[in-house]
Amino acid sequence: MTFRADALRGAPAGGVHTGQVDYRLARNAVVSEFKKGRLSRNDVCDAHPELLRAAHNLGKPTSEECPICEEAQLVLVSYAFGGRLPASGRCLSEPGELAKLARRSTGLACYVVEVCPECSWNHLARSFSLGARAPRA
């Protein structure tokens, strides 16, 4: 799986972005604590119903197996937050949607969440800023 900002569905080639944060180390720590028995399944499988709905209907399938249930494949759900978008953000559902939003004069804070639609495990995979005057993510 690639973690470049332009790997998000529809990101413009060479789009303006001010860096990204990869949460893989935090993810690995949570999975490790779960496998050691220090966290219960209820502690880590707590996806919000709206996130699960987005994962089922709009998520981008990956080839990566869920590290918790080890039965289902993870999906990526992408969100953008910024000026003239709903306060709850916008779930990106089409490949060219981020490129279209990036052309706005205001910047976007973008987030990619990995979700297991079966066991409700979820974790922020990465975040980045994109656009003309990108806000800090």
Dihedral angle of Cα 99, 105, 106, 111, to the nearest 10 degrees: 10
Check: pTM over 0.75? Answer yes or no: yes
Spatial contact of 108 and 129, defined as CB atoms under 8 Å apart: yes
Helices (H) and strands (E) in the chain, counts: 4, 6
pLDDT digits (tens, 9 = 90+) for 37-59: 999 999 999 999 999 999 999 99
Domain segments of the chain: what residues? 5-130
Residue pLDDT, tens place only, 81-130: 988 888 888 999 887 888 888 787 788 899 999 999 999 999 999 999 88
Contacts of residue 52, Cβ cutoff 8 Å, sequence gap at least 6: 115, 117, 120
